[in-house]
Structure 1
């Protein structure tokens, strides 16, 4: 039986919402709607996990990529903590910081022309 971890789920056009899920590949794939891509390392030891084929599948643009301002994340993604090669629950401080960071909907973020 897998451990459950506390994460944030970020859907296009919606505010981030906390969720508790099993720490399994299958649970993460169900949230993002396909194969996962884990590799967007954020401050405070937070991992952004998204659908690795989101753009190819033409999923709705969600938020600007926080590590590449010229790029965006397509489709629903999730945030969790990590310790070495293992995913962990977000701490209350991590959850609060990233709920605020991703509160603005849309991939355009604060872009100005």
Structure 2
């Protein structure tokens, strides 16, 4: 199924995954699905993210607070996960485009700051691709 993967600090990207083992590999452990949206979309994350101390990723409206660790979004079909539609991919890429830094909390409300994401293929402290002439 075609999903949208959202890693901490990175822009979302599409990936084809199949089966429970690949889902667990994406999130780094046991999966947990939450359903914060009216449309048939699941946000699948690591069930033990807080216990494992995974890094803050993004905030999610609707009383869900924040998600730690890598998560993916997929479609829902009856009681099964399925591929996102092209329109859902477009909507959620835009929604989760900016990375977020967790600044603090005010009760149950998270205080975050949106920042430009890094590309998946770039290390966190590298702003530009290395210049091949500098080798």
Distance 1:11 1:78, change over 3 A: same
Flag the structure with more relative contact order, 1 or 2, with Cα contacts below 8 A and sequence separation at least 6: 1
Q: 1:58 aligns with which of 40, 45, 53?
A: 53
Give a deviation string over 1:58-77, Cα, whole Å, max 9, x none.
100000023326x2100000
Structure-1-length-normalised TM-score: 0.85
Structure-2-length-normalised TM-score: 0.72
Matched, 1:101 2:102: no
Give a deviation string over 1:6-62, Cα, whole Å, max 9, x none.
00000000000000111x111110000000001224233111000010011110000
Structure 1 residue 109, shift from structure 2 partner: 5.2
Q: Distance in 2 between matches of 1:43 and 1:96?
A: 16
Runs of 4+ in 1 over 3 A off after TM superposition: none
Aligned residues: 104
Partner of 1:20: 16
- Please tell me whether the aligned partners of residues 36 and 61 of structure 2 are also in contact (alpha carbons under 8 angstroms): no
Partner secondary structure for residue 56 of structure 1: helix
Partner of 1:29: 24
Q: Structure 2 unaligned runs (5+)? A: 103-111, 115-135
Q: Structure 1 unaligned runs (5+)? A: none
Q: Whose Rg is larger? A: 2
